[in-house]
Chain A
Amino acid sequence: MEDYTKYKLKGTDELIPLLSDLDNIFVLACNKCFKEFETFDEPDCEKFVEFAKEQGKTVTGSLKVDFLCNKTQTLKKLQEAIPEGTENIFVISCGLGIQTIADACPLPVFAASNSLNYQGHHGMALTKKACDACAQCYLNITGGICPIVDCSKSLLNGQCGGAKNGKCEVDPNKDCAWEKIQQRLAAQGRLDELKNQPVQLRDYSKVNFKVINEYVKSVREARLDGYYGGVHPSEKKELAEHIPLVRFPEPDTVVIPLSQHAGAPANPIVAVGDTVAVGQKIGEIAGFISANVHSSVSGTVVAVEPRLHPTQGREVMSVVIKSDGKNTLHESVKPRKPLEELTPDEIVDLVNESGIVGMGGAGFPTYVKLKPGKPIDAVLLNGCECEPLLTADHRVLLEYADDVIYGLKAVMKAVAAPKGIIVIEDNKPDAIELMQAKVEGMEGIEVAVARTKYPQGAEKMLIKRVLGKQVPSGGLPADVGAVVCNVSTVKAISDAIKTGMPLIERVVTVTGEKIANPGNFIVKIGTSAKELIDYCGGIVGDYAEVKAGGPMMGFLLPDLNVPIIKGSNGLICIESDISTEVSCIKCGRCVDVCPMELKPLYFSKLADAEDWLGMKERNVMDCIECRSCEYICSSKIPLVSKIKAGKNAIRGMK
C-alpha cells in the first residue's frame, strides 16, 4: 500500500538554529493521516522531544492529536493542554495543522516538520493513481490515462518525441505516457479520435482561491450546522413520500412477539385455544423497563412459541393468532376522559396500559420517559425522519396532524412541560407548512425547522440542534430538561386517549428502488413482512436485500417471515452491498462525521485486538450506533459491528 504520510521532521541542521534562542517548549504532534493504520502513536513526537532536551531545552509537555487539522476537536483539546510556563509551541504536522494551531494560539508557533511534497494523490484510497485537479479533464481523449500527471512534461497534444524504448527521457524509469495512451486507444480502435482531435489548449491561469475559500467555508458551515458531524446520504424519499396512507388488508394470521421493546419481554397471559379480541392484552408488562402487548386482531390463539424476530435476529416468545376476520373489539377499548380531565398520572398509566413504546425504532417504553423525575422545560416532537427512504412519519404528520398535536399536548401535560417543539427536517416542506398552520396561536407549541442532516433524529443530536444543550455522557434527555418523542408515538398516545385503542397498528413505509410498487400502509402489528412485500408487487431486479428500518440503522432481513412490530417504521428493498473490508488508511472521515465526537477508527483496531478496556476508555459506550462512520468509511470496515462487540463485552464485565 502506498504511504502518503503528510510530513516528516525537519533536519537537525534546520532545527538546531531554530531552537537556539527558544525555550520552554510545548510540542504538539499530529498522529498522521493517509497511511496504513498500524500504530496508535507516531514516533516523531518523542523523537523531537528527545532532541529538544538534548539541546538543553525545557519541554513543558507534549500532546499527540489525531487529525490536528480537525479544528473543532483540536481546539477543544488545546484549551487545557498547554501548561503554565510554556513560551513557544512546536507543531509536528503538515502545513494545515500548523496553521490551525498558529491561528488559535496567542503563543509563537513553530513548525518542526515539512509537509511532504507530492502532487496529485487525491483519492481517498491509497492508490497509485494521481489527479492534478486541473479542472480541465483530458481523460476523455486519452483513453483514461492522464497526460498531466503521467507525462513528465504534461503534454496535451502527443509525445515530445524524446522517449527511447518506450521510456521517458526525463525519467528513464517511467513509461512514456503518450505511448501508453496510443496503445490503449489503438486497442480500443479509437486512434481516429486522437487524430481528429483539435489542438488542446491548457488554461494556465491561477486558481481562484477566493472561490474555493468561500465554497469550502460554506461546506464547513453546513457540516457543523446544529451539531458536529453527521452525513448526507441520498434521501430517495421521492419514491414514497407522495403516496397517501392505505389500510393494509386484514392479515389471516398475526405473529406478535412479546419483546418489541427495550427491556424485559412481556409475560404471555393467553394460551393456545383462547379466543381474543382486538385490543385485548395478551402480554403483561414484566418489570420497570418493559411494555404490555395487545392483540391486533380478533380470533383464536393458535400458538405461543418462539418465532423469528425481525430486529433481534433470533427466535423470541410470540403469540400467534388466527384472525376470525370480524375485528371484534375488546371491552377494554373505550374512549377515556378528555385530556383536560386526565391527570398526569392517569396519562402515564394509560400510556403504560396501552403498551406504547418509542416508535422511531428503539422501542423504549414511553411511560418510563413520561416519569422523568426531573423538571422538564420542553418536549421535542421528533418529526425529522432522518433515515433515507422512510416516509412513515412524514405521512403521519400530513394525515394525522391533529392527533399528533393532541398526543404532544398529552405528553406535555404528563411531564408538566411548558413548551412543545415539533421538529421537522427541511426536506418535508408540506409537513412544515401544515404543522405551522395548525399550531398557529397555540400556547407553548411551536414548529422548528432543521436543516436535513443524518442522524438528526437521534435524541442527543436533536436536543443539541434545537435546544443547544449537550446531554452528558451516559445521561438521558431529562438531565437537560428535555423529553423526546417520535410523531408516531404521540399519535398512538392520542388514539389511546380518544378511542381507548392500545398500540396494535402502525404506519409502515414499503419502499426502495428494488420494490415494484412502493407505498405507505397502516399495518396491524404481527402482519408478516413477506405479505407486505408481496402486496407491493415483490422484489424487482437482482442483488436485492430487504431491511427492517432505514438503510443506515435498519436490520437486514434474510428471512421475510418475520412480523411487523411496534418499532417497524419501514421495509426497504435496496441493492445489496458487495464490498470487502480493507485496511484502515487513517483518512479521518469517521472522525469527521461522528456526531458523538468519537474516534471510530480506534474502535476497529481495539476490537480486533479484543482490547475492550481500551474501547471503554475511548468512550465507546457513548456511541449511538448511527452508522455514519461505517457509511463514510473509505475502507468499508464494519465499524458498528465491532463497536457493538465492544459494548457487549464491556457490559459483560460489570
Chain B
Amino acid sequence: MLITQLKDREIIESLICGKAFVINCHGCKEVFFDEKGANELQKELMEAGKLTGILTTDYICNPENMKLRLERYAKQIEEADTVLVFSCGVGVQTVSEYLADKRVCAACDTFALPGYQGVTPLEYDCDQCGECYLNLTGGICPITACSKSLVNGQCGGAKDGKCEVNHDMECGWERIQRRLAQVGRLDVLKKCPVQVRNYATYKDINKE
C-alpha cells in the first residue's frame, strides 16, 4: 500500500514538454489519491490542448493488465512527447519499463509511509526490520514507537512522558514499561541481555 501526493503544479507543467498522455492509477485510492486535484489539473491541461488523452485505471503495478491497457491507447501515447503518470513509484516504473523509448514522468511524490505494510490502514507500524523485538517489549514496537529506534531502553531524554525528538509523541519506552508492568512482566526487561541490532541490508539477512 502506498499513497501519493501531487507534485506542485509548476513542476507538473514543466514536465510536459510538448504534449502529454496522462495515466491515473486509482488502485490505492481507498487509502489516498487526490482525485479531485488531479481531475481539475488534467481538465485544464486538456482544455489548453496539452494532452493527447487520459487513461484512468487501477493497479498499474499489475504488469499483465497494464500491457493490455497501454496497447489500447497506443495511438494517443504515440502522439505524446511525455507520458505523465499519476501513481506511486511502482506504477511509474512499471509504465516506464513498457514504454522504454518514451519519456515517462511521475506527477506525484510517493508519500513516505515506512511501516505501513498492512492491508488496511492501521495505527500500528512495522518497519519489517527482520528481528522482531515485540517479545521483550510487551508488543509495542521500539523501532517505530521510539524516535531513535532504541532497543535497550529509553534514552533518558523524555520529559513528562514526551519524546525529546518529537514533543507530540509519547516516549515509546515509557509505553513499553507501562504495558509490561500491566501484564506483570517487568522482570523480562530486567533479565534480558543487551540487544544488538543487525543493520545489514535485507538481502544479507534473507540470504539464508
Bound CA span A227–B69, Å: 34
Q: In the complex the two chains form, is B122's CB within 8 Å of A122's CB? A: no
Q: In the complex the two chains form, is B126's CB within 8 Å of A115's CB? A: yes
Across-interface contacts of A647 in B (CB, < 8 A): none
Q: Which of A6, A100, A117, A187 is B129 in contact with, Cβ under 8 Å?
A: A117
Q: Which of B116, B122, B135 is A100 in contact with, Cβ under 8 Å?
A: B122
Q: Which of A67, A124, A206 is B62 in contact with, Cβ under 8 Å?
A: A124
Bound CA span A129–B93, Å: 7
Q: Which of B26, B35, B105, B134: most chain A Cβ within 10 A?
A: B134
Q: Which of B69, B120, B125: most chain A Cβ within 10 A?
A: B120
Q: In the complex the two chains form, is B65's CB within 8 Å of A133's CB? A: no
Given contacts A100-B122, A102-B134, A118-B202, contact A223 B30 (CB under 8 A): yes
Closest B residue, CB atoms, query A205: B112
Across-interface contacts of A115 in B (CB, < 8 A): 117, 126, 128-130, 132
Given contacts A137-B89, A213-B123, A636-B65, contact A119 B138 (CB under 8 A): no
Q: Which of A109, A118, A132, A210 is B128 in contact with, Cβ under 8 Å?
A: A118
Is B127 in contact with chain A by the CB < 8 A criterion? yes
Is B144 in contact with chain A by the CB < 8 A criterion? yes
Q: In the complex the two chains form, is A96's CB within 8 Å of B144's CB? A: no
Q: In the complex the two chains form, is B90's CB within 8 Å of A122's CB? A: yes
Q: In the complex the two chains form, is A216's CB within 8 Å of B116's CB? A: yes
Classify the interface of chain B: helix, strand, loop or mixed. Answer: loop
B180 CB, nearest partner CB in chain A, Å? 9
Q: Of residues 1 to 38 in B, which have CB atoms within 8 Å of A's CB atoms?
A: 1-2, 7, 15, 26-32, 35
Q: In the complex the two chains form, is A70's CB within 8 Å of B120's CB? A: yes
Q: In the complex the two chains form, is A133's CB within 8 Å of B113's CB? A: yes
Q: Which of A10, A134, A139: most chain B Cβ within 10 A?
A: A139
Q: In the complex the two chains form, is A127's CB within 8 Å of B59's CB? A: no
Closest A residue, CB atoms, query B130: A117
Is A478 in contact with chain B by the CB < 8 A criterion? no
Q: Which of A67, A111, A119, A133 is B134 in contact with, Cβ under 8 Å?
A: A111
Q: Of residues 96 to 144 in B, which have CB atoms within 8 Å of A's CB atoms?
A: 96-97, 100-106, 108-132, 134-135, 138-141, 144
Is B94 in contact with chain A by the CB < 8 A criterion? yes
Chain B 57-98, CB-CB to A under 8 Å as 1, else 0, gives 011011111001100100000000000000011111111110
Q: In the complex the two chains form, is A144's CB within 8 Å of B95's CB? A: yes
A322 CB, nearest partner CB in chain B, Å? 42
A34 CB, nearest partner CB in chain B, Å? 8
Bound CA span A143–B85, Å: 13
Q: Which of A18, A69, A116, A231 is B122 in contact with, Cβ under 8 Å?
A: A69
A296 CB, nearest partner CB in chain B, Å? 38
Q: In the complex the two chains form, is B92's CB within 8 Å of A139's CB? A: yes
Is B160 in contact with chain A by the CB < 8 A criterion? no
Bound CA span A217–B113, Å: 13
Q: Of residues 128 to 165 in A, which have CB atoms within 8 Å of B's CB atoms?
A: 129-137, 139-140, 143-146
Q: Which of B32, B56, B114: most chain A Cβ within 10 A?
A: B114
How many residues on chain A are close to B (CB under 8 Å)? 86
Bound CA span A634–B29, Å: 12
Q: Of residues 143 to 165 in B, which have CB atoms within 8 Å of A's CB atoms?
A: 144, 147, 165
B13 CB, nearest partner CB in chain A, Å? 13
Given contacts A171-B203, A232-B29, contact A99 B126 (CB under 8 A): yes
Q: In the complex the two chains form, is A94's CB within 8 Å of B126's CB? A: yes
B43 CB, nearest partner CB in chain A, Å? 11
Chain A 90-134, CB-CB to B under 8 Å as 1, else 0, gives 000011101111110011111101111111001111010111111
Is B47 in contact with chain A by the CB < 8 A criterion? no
Q: In the complex the two chains form, is B183's CB within 8 Å of A69's CB? A: no
Q: In the complex the two chains form, is A144's CB within 8 Å of B92's CB? A: yes
Given contacts A134-B112, A219-B32, contact A110 B135 (CB under 8 A): yes
Q: In the complex the two chains form, is A579's CB within 8 Å of B104's CB? A: no
Bin chain B's interface residue count. Answer: 35 or more
Q: Of residues 199 to 232 in A, which have CB atoms within 8 Å of B's CB atoms?
A: 206-210, 212-213, 215-217, 219-220, 223, 231-232
Bound CA span A376–B205, Å: 63
Is B185 in contact with chain A by the CB < 8 A criterion? yes
Bound CA span A33–B118, Å: 9
Q: Of residues 169 to 186 in A, which have CB atoms within 8 Å of B's CB atoms?
A: 171, 184
Q: Which of A70, A116, A139, A188 is B89 in contact with, Cβ under 8 Å?
A: A139
Across-interface contacts of B68 in A (CB, < 8 A): 578-580
Across-interface contacts of A123 in B (CB, < 8 A): 2, 61-62, 88, 90-91, 94
Closest A residue, CB atoms, query B127: A95
Is B195 in contact with chain A by the CB < 8 A criterion? no
Closest B residue, CB atoms, query A218: B121
B187 CB, nearest partner CB in chain A, Å? 10
Across-interface contacts of A119 in B (CB, < 8 A): 128, 202
Across-interface contacts of B32 in A (CB, < 8 A): 215, 219
Of A48-56, A440-448, A530-538, A586-594, which stretch is located at the interface?
A: A586-594
Bound CA span A71–B27, Å: 22
Is A336 in contact with chain B by the CB < 8 A criterion? no
Q: Which of A125, A578, A587 is B63 in contact with, Cβ under 8 Å?
A: A125
Bound CA span A132–B172, Å: 25
Q: In the complex the two chains form, is A210's CB within 8 Å of B111's CB? A: no
Bound CA span A592–B69, Å: 26
Q: In the complex the two chains form, is B134's CB within 8 Å of A127's CB? A: no
Is A582 in contact with chain B by the CB < 8 A criterion? yes
Q: Which of B28, B112, B113, B118: most chain A Cβ within 10 A?
A: B118
Across-interface contacts of B121 in A (CB, < 8 A): 216, 219-220, 223
Given contacts A70-B120, A143-B104, A634-B59, contact A234 B26 (CB under 8 A): yes
Is B41 in contact with chain A by the CB < 8 A criterion? no
Q: In the complex the two chains form, is B96's CB within 8 Å of A94's CB? A: no
Bound CA span A184–B185, Å: 57
Q: In the complex the two chains form, is B123's CB within 8 Å of A108's CB? A: no
Given contacts A96-B117, A96-B126, A212-B116, contact A143 B141 (CB under 8 A): no
Is A543 in contact with chain B by the CB < 8 A criterion? yes
Given contacts A133-B113, A144-B96, contact A593 B30 (CB under 8 A): yes
Q: In the complex the two chains form, is B120's CB within 8 Å of A69's CB? A: yes
Q: In the complex the two chains form, is A113's CB within 8 Å of B128's CB? A: no
Q: Which of A133, A213, A216, A232 is B114 in contact with, Cβ under 8 Å?
A: A133
Is A190 in contact with chain B by the CB < 8 A criterion? yes
A197 CB, nearest partner CB in chain B, Å? 13
Given contacts A95-B124, A96-B118, contact A107 B97 (CB under 8 A): no
Across-interface contacts of A131 in B (CB, < 8 A): 2, 88-90, 93, 110
Q: Which of A99, A220, A234, A588 is B140 in contact with, Cβ under 8 Å?
A: A99
Q: In the complex the two chains form, is B90's CB within 8 Å of A582's CB? A: no
The 17 sampled A-B contact pairs (Cβ below 8 Å) are A71-B120, A111-B135, A115-B128, A115-B132, A116-B206, A118-B202, A118-B206, A122-B89, A123-B90, A135-B111, A140-B106, A210-B166, A231-B30, A234-B26, A579-B69, A587-B119, A634-B27
- Additional pairs, 13, CB under 8 Å, beyond known A106-B183, A139-B105: A67-B120, A95-B124, A95-B125, A98-B139, A99-B124, A118-B202, A122-B89, A125-B61, A139-B96, A140-B15, A140-B106, A578-B68, A579-B68
B residues with a Cβ closer than 8 A to A are 1-2, 7, 15, 26-32, 35, 56, 58-59, 61-65, 68-69, 72, 88-97, 100-106, 108-132, 134-135, 138-141, 144, 147, 165-166, 168-169, 179, 183-185, 202-203, 205-206
Closest 10 pairs between A and B when the two form their complex, measured CB to CB? A102-B139, A144-B96, A117-B130, A95-B126, A131-B89, A123-B61, A588-B119, A123-B90, A125-B62, A69-B118
